[in-house]
Structure 1
């Protein structure tokens, strides 16, 4: 049924255009012409009502096309009525139908001279005032809209890159901007239809009058006076019948192009702006003074002054009326004070950002909430890097914190805390700055760089001196991004893993079936993926990771063993974060004898505690830090490559001092990858204890 209705609506417009051509070419009887005239008036009224009720111009985006067809329909009726007037005008005033007769006799009293002046006045109003003004507004609106189009597109791209909007929202806004430009461009051309229609009405009236004055005496033997009275009266009636819908469409076009976007229709927008007692009180006073002047129509002016004064008094009473909250539809249940709900003792949010009261302006919606937009951008970018959706971050004020202190919590554990100055800028010394800055010395909370809080007005000078200048919101968002990346394993749970499996199932159903729930339960798979994230291995290439896990699961069901088994397969994914394709991999290794002793100790560790003797561990850490210091200063990434048997123990040892340093086994480095050994960590042969 719906398909038939859609087909019917699709065929309605071609049938209407065909009917319009028939009306222009084929003679139609007067009763049918009356029906078409009334339909034309009804269509014009409907278009005017839609234009007045639109909240913004784009709500009536089909108006230019509607205006075109309505104008063609009216011109077609003019052709048909001209044919009837000239052919049957000698038969009397009702020869062209009752609608033309009513407009020619009732509205102008049967006096064609009065009718000519009335038509002329309507033409002046329509052509000179309404149509010309609407055309000028359409032209200016189209020009400004097209000039602003590139800037609006760039603003959408900037909001998308900043994470303030989603790709779907950006696509929707781009469509709206494009539709707006097309609409105002079409309206600029459509205004010419209305102007041309008014000129055509004037020419058709002249043709009817001249034709009647010729046909009456020549074809029907009428006197000049009788022909003038009969034909001119019908011509004026025909012109007025066409001019009334034309005037309504001109008003609709002017109302559309002069609208300002609002959440109310035109009546509500005007009523809201005029509904103030401060508007009507001066009106009442001025009219009252004017009505007291000698010679004025006191009764009328003072009557309007009284109406304006009553309106002002009534509006003032409404403003002073207290706002009473609506009563609930159902009586609220009585709350038992002794009852404690689960919502009071649990917190379903994994990530929290607690702020002191001095940082509340950064999340105040009345000031644009700049921090909230940055947090959304951090989540979106981090989700793309890690391969799963990072949970939402709840921002809340905590009166126990110092005014300018913030605290980052992940699963109830504080992972970071620092202070910022919301009214100042942080100038970071990235190693290329020169000169000292006046301000409060501090350390960057994310990278530990030397920094200074400076006044906003000194930001340009600090940038020129080589400093990286950022605001407080950016400092907090960057710190949040770093800590969430470092604690990504804490953000992944069985629900997120199941979502990864569901997404992969659409592309590789057999792979998912061979992976979970058999042979690996969801909990074990979650432990494996959390272990990868803990060592900075993202889950973006989840299909490759899942394939490696499915193969390793045939050999072991232990999460740690599976993770070690799949790491050689994932080696290229790990290494591509450390160096380019043509760039050699900078590595550090352990001295051979030391590595052999550590391997013996790990093989003797049947409990798999992976513990290295404390004194040896301290010496290894000191040597590693000393060798890594130059590379860290130059921001050159590197990896520590060891034997597979001792990789886990070395990783546990290294993450306490160099958490961002990846520890790889020899099998994880592809054979074709060039390697540059930058340091060899050696040591004496102490007693080892596993």
Structure 2
């Protein structure tokens, strides 16, 4: 334990001792001076901090200082009532303030207590309460603002995390200050009660037990009581003022001193008006010497500030021009131009309202939800989506880029709705024919006045923001494998290592590099398999990586380990999984044409037989699709990878599974067979 920590612990123990054990007068004087010193340090720190969180320990410190001051009050009260003395500091304060008149000294003390209790303490308590309430109410809005800036690319993940932490700390701080301000109020009340007790019981003890006369008792106990009250109330007043300063601080670029001087003296011309007003007061019976002196100081200050302001106005444009020139000449300025955003969403000027929050646009909030949804579904942290308008696009056009390449696009009509139906369309619904961009379904752009009619006719009607957000979601899903690089893979490994260090150590960096792991995970994402269950994936890699370093083959082993997940994903809510099985003839045909090379294996099937297999699969898929079922092709583990490679060229949407990828408890129904003549 460091000396600083030990000193704080000893201080708390000492406070408890003060409440129980009588202390000699010289030690009381020492602690009283320590109390005044701590109060001075606290108010100076509160005046020089730039923001409230720089003094985050203040609520706890306020409790300890209040307890310390009350402990001193108990000790001095015990000493005053039992021995009619409380140390040199208390007696000096009492004698100096009373000045031979106990009543005057008591009145001065009462005024100090009223100032602290009714003005500073009560105000600080109210400000703390309001600040805590408004800080908590503003948290959701601040969180959404951070998410919006993150999705707009204005800040990165690290900066967003820092801002969220700061918001949480602010809420905790102001909530604590709301409760801590009650200590200050209670301390002021206790001070008044202690003074009354000292005076009343001091007179009784002095006259009844010590044989003092009334005047002597009044003089002795009034002097000690007022002195005790002052040495406790002056630090209390400083602490109360510090509390008010801390809770009334708002966003600024400097401390209290710089803010007061810069903002109060921001308008030099007003000092001339104040100087003239003070000078005119000298025409009254007020001494003209005093008013002229003050007016002269104000006028001189206004003149100096005016000159400084004019000088800054001249220098600032020159500095700005130089800074801009230096920025354009700096090599970093050129380097920034070659950086590329992983995901970019561009749109024409007519679509600005969907992204502009001031016009009611909620696209930024929707993208936040999309990233969260895909993180849950795929187990991949999607990069920030850069959103920008592009005047080179048509007004209603938008496009989505992945790593600089356009992968999707479309058009939106903001004053229309998109109506879709999986069945036969009702020609009675008027609209502009189009295609739903995410799934390629036939649709119509309809106006709001026919929206109800379209819904009654069986159409699914969605608004433009929902259309584009659905499109973005599906496109990112299809290209998730392209977003997973080595850097992102390392982040996933580090996250897993925090919980499974031994498992990660057994897989990487030996026998598999980060690049090998990335290839396996990308293979899963390419076929829409979630990588969220990283522990199971790494368990499989640990078992088979020592046998082979072929990432394609390792990917097949991983898929088999995820059989329960894969079955649940493609089975949906149905009792049975309907599949299209591959005949033994086709499996033998594929197996006989697998070529092994030092760089891996591939399918070398002649074009005529490839087309025959593709035609057979296409016929079966079309028949299954008409029954509104998901097209799943089922084959043996030995040829699954090669069947998927073959189908990807013409039927990329078809799911290909092997028997080992099905959960043993799953019920499977064959609704077709892939065969060639």
TM-score (norm 2): 0.75
1:41 aligns with 2:36: yes
Correspondence for 2:52: 56
1:573 aligns with 2:562: no
TM-superposed deviation, 1:276: 3.2
1:99 aligns with 2:92: no
What's the RMSD between the two structures over aligned residues?
5.3
1:656-687 Cα shifts (integer Å, max 9, x gaps) = 5653331223443344311234x4267883xx
TM-superposed deviation, 1:302: 6.1
Shifted more, 351-360 versus 203-212: the winner is: 351-360
Which of 658, 669, 673 is the matching residue for 2:666?
A: 673
Unaligned runs of 5+ in 1: 89-95, 686-690
Residue pair 2:278, 2:291 contacting (<8 A) in 1 also: yes
How far apart in 2 are the matches of 1:47 and 1:367?
47
Residue pair 2:567, 2:666 contacting (<8 A) in 1 also: no
1:627 aligns with 2:623: yes
Correspondence for 1:445: 437
TM-superposed deviation, 1:578: 1.5
How far apart in 2 are the matches of 1:420 and 1:525?
40
TM-superposed deviation, 1:192: 2.0
How far apart in 1 are the matches of 2:453 and 2:183?
51
Which of 277, 281, 286 is the matching residue for 1:287?
A: 277
Correspondence for 1:539: 531
Provide closer, same or farther for how the CA distance between residues 427 and 548 of structure 1 changes in structure 2, counting only shifts above 3 A. Answer: same
1:75 aligns with 2:64: no
Provide closer, same or farther for how the CA distance between residues 361 and 53 of structure 1 changes in structure 2, counting only shifts above 3 A. Answer: farther
1:452-485 Cα shifts (integer Å, max 9, x gaps) = 4979x9999999999665564x655543332222
How far apart in 2 are the matches of 1:399 and 1:257?
47
TM-superposed deviation, 1:486: 0.9
Q: What aligned pairs does 1:251-650 form with structure 2 within 5 A after superposition? A: 251-260=241-250, 264-277=254-267, 280=270, 284=274, 287=277, 291=281, 300-301=290-291, 304=294, 320=310, 321-322=312-313, 323=316, 325=319, 343=335, 347=339, 349-354=341-346, 375=367, 378-394=370-386, 400-402=392-394, 405-420=397-412, 424=414, 427-429=417-419, 431=421, 443-448=435-440, 450=443, 452=445, 472=465, 477-497=469-489, 507=500, 509=502, 513=506, 517-518=510-511, 526-549=518-541, 558-564=550-556, 567-580=559-572, 583-589=575-581, 596=585, 599-600=588-589, 603-604=592-593, 608-610=603-605, 613=608, 616=612, 619-620=615-616, 623-624=619-620, 626-632=622-628, 636-642=629-635, 647-648=640-641, 650=643
1:537 aligns to what SS in structure 2? coil
Shifted more, 436-445 versus 539-548: the winner is: 436-445
Provide closer, same or farther for how the CA distance between residues 439 and 214 of structure 1 changes in structure 2, counting only shifts above 3 A. Answer: farther
Q: What aligned pairs does 1:135-150 form with structure 2 within 5 A after superposition? A: 135=125, 144=133
Provide closer, same or farther for how the CA distance between residues 471 and 290 of structure 1 changes in structure 2, counting only shifts above 3 A. Answer: farther
Residue pair 2:35, 2:69 contacting (<8 A) in 1 also: no
1:676 aligns to what SS in structure 2? strand
Residue pair 1:516, 1:522 contacting (<8 A) in 2 also: yes
How far apart in 2 are the matches of 1:583 and 1:169?
48
1:586 aligns to what SS in structure 2? strand
TM-score (norm 1): 0.73
1:325 aligns to what SS in structure 2? helix
1:201 aligns with 2:185: no
TM-superposed deviation, 1:72: 0.8
Which of 112, 115, 131 is the matching residue for 2:102?
A: 112
Residue pair 2:199, 2:221 contacting (<8 A) in 1 also: no
Provide closer, same or farther for how the CA distance between residues 493 and 98 of structure 1 changes in structure 2, counting only shifts above 3 A. Answer: closer
Residue pair 1:442, 1:453 contacting (<8 A) in 2 also: no
Aligned length: 649
TM-superposed deviation, 1:574: 1.9
How far apart in 2 are the matches of 1:567 and 1:246?
70
How far apart in 1 are the matches of 2:79 and 2:612?
108
Provide closer, same or farther for how the CA distance between residues 289 and 587 of structure 1 changes in structure 2, counting only shifts above 3 A. Answer: farther
How far apart in 2 are the matches of 1:341 and 1:185?
50
2:44 aligns to what SS in structure 1? helix
2:644 aligns to what SS in structure 1? helix
How far apart in 1 are the matches of 2:334 and 2:320?
30
